[in-house]
Amino acid sequence: MKLGMFLQPATKPGRPLSETIDWNLDVIRHADACGFAEVWIGQHITSPWEPLPAPQQIIARAIGETSHIKLGTGVEVLYQSHPVRLATELAQLDHMAHGRLLFGFGGGGTPTDAQLYGVDFASGQHQEMSREALDIILSCWQKDGPSDYAGKYWSINAPAYNDRYYWHVKPYAPPEPRIGFAGFMPKSGSLALAGERGYIPLSFNVAPEHVSVHWDVVDQSAKRMGRKADRSNWRHIREVYVADTAKDARNAVLNGFAAEFWDTYFQIIVERLDIGHLFRRSGAPTDTPVNAQFLVDNGTWFVGDPDQVVEQIVEQSNLSGGFGVLLQMGFDYADPGAREGWMRSMELLSTEVMPRVNRALGQPG
């Protein structure tokens, strides 16, 4: 099992964007130094809690400040960009990264972003646009570039090329093994697309007993297309905080920004979607609000000393049937006094927790 990070990025509203960018770049550099395999950077426009609208720019900056870590868009929301423009931007970025780029795509999950673009979530328009955009992007990455395309949302006219003008833009290395789609809901269209086409599935942070609902979507979609889904490609996004003592870890989470982000922002989304049950572990109280304290107390979040977190990760692997990469959910711990604890958590997770997890699972690393 490899280790990575997912940066939504969960951010304290009101923090200047320049400071948010600086903090997340600090985290990416530290992840590289700690031996994390990858980091994904999110894209949102109208949410001050997740305020980075251009993950490609963060990646472009981070390429020159890291050495080995893979850098992914987490995700590029496909209805928000013309697919030809997005295809060529990502191809160029992949050359800048010398193939370290991960191509995360999705239909988006922020209703106000969709309203801004006049896209109707209720009808599934964003998923239709995602599939159409992906087809055009993939055609742009072929040797001869895109052919004529008359779609519902976009149309492409292949130019009349000659010896001076011809299609020349494609990624640094074959992109298909590096394409990923993230999903959250039990019947996620994005995860179904990942299964159909053999792409990387990224599962958001439901409780360990319930994350298999995502694999069912991936697996069944793959089977319909005559494919076999590969669990080693499956990424699990999880809130993880490790400290030298369980007391320190609990204090950093419940009296820090992780709890504030959930209790003030994300819990409301969960309640609106009526999916609180997906965050309740087996045997957990059913009449208690699914707030941050509940998630820590009942083990949906992995918060503790190295011994405790090793047990929790191993349990999630066993309950889910196995997965290939654990992605630590990133949070804004940029304030003085909080920063050191967060960086220490990353170090402990990489150097103490994950080697022991892999030994427990009988895996190398």
Whole-number Å distance between alpha carbons of 65 and 24: 12
| Beta bridge pairs of residue 30 | none
pLDDT at 152: 97
Summarize the confidence of residues 273-288 as an average pLDDT: 94
Q: Is residue 97 part of a domain?
A: yes
Summarize the confidence of residues 2-10 as an average pLDDT: 97
Residue 140 CB contacts under 8 Å (≥ 6 apart), including other chains: 83, 84, 87, 88, 91, 146, 169, 170
Contact status, residue 271 vs residue 263, Cβ threshold 8 Å: no
Q: Is residue 197 part of a domain?
A: yes
Domain that holds residue 218: 2-360
pLDDT at 365: 60
Q: Is residue 70 part of a domain?
A: yes
Q: Is residue 18 part of a domain?
A: yes
Whole-number Å distance between alpha carbons of 197 and 235: 16
Contact status, residue 302 vs residue 310, Cβ threshold 8 Å: no
pLDDT tens per residue across span 45-88 = 999 999 999 999 999 999 999 999 999 999 999 999 999 999 99
Structure tokens at 22: 């600086």
Q: Is residue 60 part of a domain?
A: yes
pLDDT tens per residue across span 159-176 = 999 999 999 999 999 999
Task: Return the closest-CA partner of residue 15 out of 25, 7, 23.
Answer: 23
Q: Is residue 195 part of a domain?
A: yes
Burial class of residue 110, CB neighbours in 10 A (0-12, 13-18, 19+): middle
pLDDT at 363: 82
CB neighbours of residue 260 within 10 Å: 18
Q: What's the domain count of the chain?
A: 1
Q: Is residue 365 part of a domain?
A: no
CB neighbours of residue 289 within 10 Å: 12
Residue 215's domain is classified under what CATH number? 3.20.20.30
